[in-house]
Amino acid sequence: MALYAKLIKGIFQDSVTLMLMSRDLSALPDVKRVAVMMGTPANRDVFRETGLWHEEFAAATPNDLCLVVDSETDDPTVAEVMAARVHERLSELARGRRRARYPVVRSWRRARQLLADANVALISVAGHYAFEPARLALQDGCHVMMFSDNVSLEQELELKTLARGRGLLVMGPDCGTTILNGAPLAFANRIPPGPVAVVGASGTGIQELTSQIARLGSGITHAIGLGGRDLSEEIGGISAAMALDLVSRDDASRIIAFVSKPPAPAVKARILDAMQAIGKPVVALFLGRRPARRDIGNVHLARTLDEAAALAVELAQVDARACALPNVEGRGICGLYTGGTLAAEASMLLAEALDLTQDATHAAGYMLRAGGHRIIDLGDDVYTRGQPHPMIDPTSRNEMIRGLAKDPAVGVLLLDVVLGYGAHPDPAGEVAREVSALRAARGAESPIVVIATLTGTAEDPQDRDSQAARLEEAGIVIAESVRAAAVLAARAVAAQMQSHAEPPALLRAPPAVVNIGLRGFAEDLHANGIRVVHLQWEPAAGGNERLRRLIEQLQ
């Protein structure tokens, strides 16, 4: 093996461009491998560790391009030949970029002249150099998304503290994915518009979650990345709190889905508090940690990405249904169940959603009796002694439904309708008649929301479809499962979501972006109709740290 090297001074290129170039050159005949990288300290380490170090590189600065050829030839001009190809390829790229219809500039000031209303800086330069442009952007009033990784924790904290003081958001560092009003920032998928806002400290987590939401036929308002360390004890979830606040004030974001690794305990408590204060349904996925309980008021804990997506989409459907329900005065939920298991499940889920304790004694069939809510199992011995099961004989439930005429504190009535052999021949008819009578007795000033589950199939003797139609004629909402019924009931008695005159500025319209680093990101934004200026970034003072600091002091 022989190594031939060439140092090309003063040409800065992004790492993706150089990687693709290295791969193409490595495929040429007569060479085993070609590597082209900028002469940063980290890259110089990589050359050493992979056995590709060459003495030429000792003089390299981060602004110099290091080319090394591993070849079995003994012709030392092979490095010159490769260098010529590198120049050729870079010229091609430059020509292609000049054709791009978005401006390419060399200074932040020029970028702002061309895009006066720029509000986001997308930074993907090597981590070692990412701090400066981020600070500059923040000081100039722009939100920052840092795709760059290898930014120190101290720098992250400094940037986020600076940003917070100015009401600006720092997404990242090491933030792979953000989508603002459909604008793809860095790694992002094209997701249909919809009611779910995604906030996350995981790039592929956001990508998979949003893709699953799309697969399930729903969509997103925005997806906001935080960077993988935002929920660490050191950073304290500064960006998470700000992102949650942003989407909470965006009325189009009806449901919030949050994904991250398990946060530091103190941070988790704060984040959960913030989620509960939002008053919108929140799905929270703390990756790799089994949630101790699934519902904490409006916060639903998921365990896997597909489960989180399914929950968010289900909650969006529930939200759409809840919005169509009348406002009820009574805030109590009353469940009258003929199926004991269905009553037990409704009780468990409502107890979680409303933070209540289930009734352990089950006296008089009460599965839940707390906070003005009650769930009763009418199959309990108290109700069946001397008469058939309420699935056969609806008398006892009918009486209790009628009794709600005099109980205006009940705003939601939960029921089960069980079909099949053995059951009443027309349970939906019984329920529909009693509910209509109840509504008439309560009058228009005391509306009641009635939600029923329908156990059975189209093949059952009662015919599920015609039973469903009978319920719907009576204005009874049919829930697809006891869980869906419980979630909708809890929503129906919850406080109304606050409404806002307009969304926060960052979410109001697609962003105007200054792209600093990988060219491809600017191209993707441009292709999506997003206004973008590419700032052709080079390390200050040619990457010389001491010189850079000196210049800074003089400025």
CB 296 within 8 A of CB 314: no
Quick one: which segment of 3-11, 84-92, 179-187, 466-474 binds a second copy (CB under 8 A)?
A: 179-187
How many CA atoms are closer than 13 Å to the CA of 134, on its beta-carbon side?
A: 32
Site string for a second copy, 67-106 (x = CB under 8 A): ----------------------------------------
Closest approach of a second copy to the CB of residue 332, in Å: 22
Task: Tell me whether residue 267 or residue 522 sits nearer to a second copy (CB atom).
Answer: 522
For 478-512, b/e burial (b = at least 16 CB within 10 A) is bbeebebbbbbbbbbbbeebeeeeebbebbeebbb
Say if residue 421 is exposed, middle or buried (CB neighbours under 10 Å; 0-12, 13-18, 19+). exposed
| 259 vs 275: CA distance, rounded Å | 13
CB 60 within 8 A of CB 66: yes
Best CA proximity match to 184, nearest among 165, 170, 203, 166: 203
CA–centroid distance for 118 within its chain: 24
| 424 vs 408: CA distance, rounded Å | 29
Task: Tell me whether residue 250 or residue 345 sits nearer to a second copy (CB atom).
Answer: 345
Structure tokens at 193: 């518009």
Question: Does 341 engage in binding with a second copy (CB under 8 A)?
Answer: yes
Q: What is the DSSP string of 482-503?
A: HHHHHHHHHHHHSPPPP--SS-
Select from 123, 137, 423, 451 the one that contacts a second copy (CB under 8 A): 423
DSSP 490: H
- Strand 220-225 and strand 177-180: the pairing is antiparallel
Site string for a second copy, 184-223 (x = CB under 8 A): x-xxxxxxx---------xxxx-xx--xx-xx--------
Question: Does 466 engage in binding with a second copy (CB under 8 A)?
Answer: no
Q: Which residues contact 215 (CB under 8 A, 6 or more apart)?
A: 309
Residues 125-144 contacting a second copy, CB under 8 A:
none
Closest approach of a second copy to the CB of residue 515, in Å: 12
End-to-end CA distance of the chain: 49
Helix axes 464-473, 427-442, angle to 10 degrees: 10
Which residues, in sequence order, are bridge partners of residue 122?
145, 515
Quick one: which segment of 96-104, 153-161, 475-483, 490-498 binds a second copy (CB under 8 A)?
A: 475-483
Residues 241-270 contacting a second copy, CB under 8 A:
259, 261
Closest approach of a second copy to the CB of residue 435, in Å: 20
Structure tokens at 377: 């199992």
Question: Does 422 engage in binding with a second copy (CB under 8 A)?
Answer: yes
Site size toward a second copy, by CB under 8 A: 86
Closest approach of a second copy to the CB of residue 76, in Å: 24
Task: Tell me whether residue 55 or residue 459 sits nearer to a second copy (CB atom).
Answer: 459
Residues 284-323 contacting a second copy, CB under 8 A:
287-288, 290, 292-294, 303-307
Question: Does 456 engage in binding with a second copy (CB under 8 A)?
Answer: yes
Task: Tell me whether residue 15 or residue 232 sits nearer to a second copy (CB atom).
Answer: 15
Residues 478-537 contacting a second copy, CB under 8 A:
480-484, 520-521, 524
Determine how many CB atoms are found less than 10 A away from the CB of residue 461. 11
Task: Tell me whether residue 90 or residue 382 sits nearer to a second copy (CB atom).
Answer: 382
Quick one: which segment of 57-65, 249-257, 317-325, 387-395 binds a second copy (CB under 8 A)?
A: 387-395
Mapped onto helix, strand or coil, the DSSP state of residue 465 is helix
Residues 33-52 contacting a second copy, CB under 8 A:
37, 42-43, 45-47, 50
Question: Does 459 engage in binding with a second copy (CB under 8 A)?
Answer: yes
Place of tokens 């090394």: 68
Question: Does 173 engage in binding with a second copy (CB under 8 A)?
Answer: no
**Peptide bond preceding 173: is omega within 30 degrees of 0, i.e. cis?**
yes
Task: Tell me whether residue 248 or residue 455 sits nearer to a second copy (CB atom).
Answer: 455
Task: Tell me whether residue 190 or residue 500 sits nearer to a second copy (CB atom).
Answer: 190
Residues 356-385 contacting a second copy, CB under 8 A:
358, 379, 385
Task: Tell me whether residue 278 or residue 312 sits nearer to a second copy (CB atom).
Answer: 312
Provide the residue type at 158 as one letter: E
Select from 344, 431, 432, 449 the one that contacts a second copy (CB under 8 A): 344
Question: Does 12 engage in binding with a second copy (CB under 8 A)?
Answer: no
